[in-house]
Structure 1
């Protein structure tokens, strides 16, 4: 009996090491980051991972147009607001959501989903709480590593998504 328990524990240990090893490897290729904004009563935080372009064509190829994208790498990107807000004019209750996008050449659909804690490829459309379209712009140069940032504006902030030659501004207001 003790031999069976020993074999079982050894198997669990190997699986745990493999899990954490894969996780560390993927994080080294697309490191975790946090973007946050906290001004004038608006508190927003985005936890995401930052993939690199690496001489690839990102939008339209690596990230296909018209398909749901995890908006980063690794685990699903988390979007947290501490108060009720409007995303591009549509209401969103305070809470934590996963952030997904549907990129296209000129318009992106921003998707906030109530399911959290999943790997970034486990998207369930039935869990969507908000979908809104925003225009996509172009950067003046190439952005090698995906980045999410915030820029203050009247009444709130723009959440800015940057990668390759794409720039998408998502208004977040009170």
Structure 2
């Protein structure tokens, strides 16, 4: 019994010493742009699309044209590249997009936005390779009826598909997609 207690004492002491001397065991602070996920399901509750993205906040900053420059590729969020997964084939701008995962980038402009699906995934949002673009399409723009503090993405159902909305500050951009039926 003494050997077991002695072993337990040394084990606990070693762990305490190790944890006090190893900075790698500390947890990071909360991210200023938290990660979020939005799902789109069809009327049968089957998954159609999912977006994983980080949500930066306005914090009294001028967003489009300043923090996010006009006419330049934007990672469409913060931190890692925004990732969109389609669980079935869809069409965007009459172009077939096979089921799979893609990075989502945009090019915000004063009058219109460009929507970009890129085949590279799991990279930093700053690692954009235009040679891997699968699709580029124009997005519809409308002013937001109220200020949107944190960058947000959502889906709205429409007949045989959906609308993807991106909103932040005073701007909402959207693009439609339709589901391809086998």
Using the size of structure 2 for normalisation, the TM-score is 0.80
Unaligned stretches of 5+ residues in structure 1: 1-12
After TM superposition, give the deviation of residue 60 of structure 1 in Å: 0.5
Aligned to 1:6: none
- Say if 2:56 is the partner of 1:51: yes
After TM superposition, give the deviation of residue 42 of structure 1 in Å: 6.1
- Say if 2:110 is the partner of 1:105: yes
Q: CA RMSD in A?
A: 1.8
After TM superposition, give the deviation of residue 89 of structure 1 in Å: 2.8
> Could you say what secondary structure the match of 1:171 adopts?
strand
Larger Rg: 2
Could you list the per-position Cα deviations for residues 105-133 of structure 1 after superposition, in whole angstroms to 9, with x for gaps in the alignment?
Answer: 22110000011111111100011111101
Runs of at least 4 residues of structure 1 off by over 3 A? none
Size of the alignment, in residue pairs? 156
**Among 18, 26, 40, the residue aligned to 1:37:** 40
Aligned pairs for 1:67-106 within 5 A: 67-106=72-111
Structure with the larger RCO, 1 or 2 (CA within 8 Å, 6+ apart): 1
Aligned to 2:3: none
Cα contact 2:88–2:98 (8 A) shared by 1: yes
> Could you say what secondary structure the match of 2:151 adopts?
strand
**Among 169, 172, 175, the residue aligned to 1:170:** 175
Using the size of structure 1 for normalisation, the TM-score is 0.84
Unaligned stretches of 5+ residues in structure 2: 1-21
